[in-house]
Amino acid sequence: MLYQQIAMNKRRTGYVMAGFGILVLALGAAIGDVFFGSWQMGCGVAAVVTVVYMLIMIGNSTNVVMSMNHAREIQNEQQAPQLWHLIEDMALVGQVPMPRVFIIEDASPNAFATGNDPKHAAVAVTTGILERLNREELEGVIGHEISHVRNYDIRLQTIALALAAAIGFLVNFASNWFWWGAGSRRRDNDDDSAGNIIGIVVSILLIILAPLAASIAQMALSRNREYLADAASVELTRNPQGLISALEKIDDSQPMTAADPNSSALYISDPFKQKRKMADLFATHPPIADRIARLEKM
Query: How, if at all, do strands 121-126 and 100-104 pair?
Result: parallel
Burial 199-221 (b: 16+ CB within 10 A, else e): bbeebbebbeebbebbbebbbbb
Q: What is the pLDDT of residues 69-95, one digit of tens each?
A: 999 999 999 999 999 999 999 999 999
Residue 58 pLDDT level (bands cut at 50, 70, 90): confident
CA 61 to CA 56: how far, in whole Å?
8
pLDDT at residue 30, rounded to an integer = 85
pLDDT at residue 185, rounded to an integer = 46
Q: What is the pLDDT of residues 147-156, one digit of tens each?
A: 999 988 887 7
Query: Cα-Cα-Cα-Cα dihedral of 122, 126, 127, 130, to 10°?
Result: -80
3-state secondary structure of 247: helix
3-state secondary structure of 120: helix
pLDDT at residue 13, rounded to an integer = 63
pLDDT at 64 over 60: yes
Q: Binding-site residues for Zn(2+), please?
A: 144, 148, 226
pLDDT at residue 131, rounded to an integer = 96
Q: What is the pLDDT of residues 180-210, one digit of tens each?
A: 655 544 545 555 555 566 666 777 777 777 7
Plot region of 238 (φ>0 → left; ψ -120 to 50 → alpha; else → beta): left
pLDDT at residue 33, rounded to an integer = 79
Q: What is the pLDDT of residues 126-148, one digit of tens each?
A: 999 999 999 999 999 999 999 99
Q: Binding-site residues, please?
A: 144, 148, 226
Q: What is the DSSP string of 181-227?
A: THHHHHHHTS---HHHHHHHHHHHHHHHHHHHHHHHHHHHHHHHHHH
3-state secondary structure of 260: coil
Active-site residue, from 145, 235, 248, 296:
145
Distance of CA 36 to the CA centre of its chain: 33
**Residue-averaged pLDDT of the chain:** 83
Active site residue 145: yes
CA 72 to CA 60: how far, in whole Å?
16
Tell me which of 21-25, 100-104, 157-161, 276-280 is least confident: 276-280
Give the percent of the chain with pLDDT over 70. Answer: 82
- Alpha-carbon Rg for the chain, nearest whole angstrom, is 22
